[in-house]
Amino acid sequence: MKKYIVIFSATLLGFGKVKGQSGILAASFTYDLVGNRIERKIICIGCPKPADTAQGGHAFQQPAADGPIVDAYPNPAESELFINNRKWKENDKAAVTVFDVAGKLILERHETKAVFSMPLNDIVPGTYMVRYDLNNTAIQVWKIVKM
């Protein structure tokens, strides 16, 4: 599992009084072995202490109890991409769209089952973004490489 940390510089303004508070925002990302992001933490270092904690600063976390609910593999892919929704329910409907790096729609597919494959034979090798929508709600986006 890979872990990356990104640090941002920020100025935070208080409400009510016009005063500035400098802080440093740090973002920490954790990825699984296939390259899917499974956790994101953003921590404000040097920010005012929240009323409900004794620690300095506050943290925001995108929960990832079991990691992502949808897997896309293999990555890089040659002829097809397999997609598996691990929390599929009986009446769910999925839409998978593939975009190139310029944002142009390349492929679109609608499914009513948890596990399916998406053929990639008709697209040229390169880097693409894959978006998975479940019941008309965006769930996950991946970057894949077509060999």
Q: Write out the DSSP string of 76-138.
A: SBSSEEEEEETT--TT--EEEEEEETT--EEEEEEESSSEEEEE-TTS-SEEEEEEEEETTEE
Position of tokens 């998978």? 96
pTM over 0.75: no
Q: Which structure tokens are listed for 69?
A: 């609910």
What are 74's strand-pairing partners?
none
Report d(CA 119, CA 128) in Å as an integer: 14
Strand order in the sheet with 126-134: 105-111, 94-100, 126-134, 137-146
Domain that holds residue 105: 70-146
**Distance in angstroms between the alpha carbons of the first and the last residue of the chain:** 24
Mark whether 118 and 51 lie in a shared domain. Answer: no
List, for the chain, all residue ranges whose pLDDT scores fall below the cut of 70: 1-27, 42-68
pLDDT over 70, % of the chain: 62
Mark whether 7 and 57 lie in a shared domain. Answer: yes
Mean pLDDT across the chain = 75
Mark whether 84 and 137 lie in a shared domain. Answer: yes
Mark whether 46 and 6 lie in a shared domain. Answer: yes
- What does the pLDDT look like over 110-132, one tens digit per residue? 999 999 999 999 999 999 999 99
The number of folded domains in the chain is 2
Nearest Cα to 71, choosing from 101, 108, 27, 34? 34
Mark whether 41 and 90 lie in a shared domain. Answer: no
Mark whether 100 and 57 lie in a shared domain. Answer: no
pLDDT over 90, % of the chain: 41
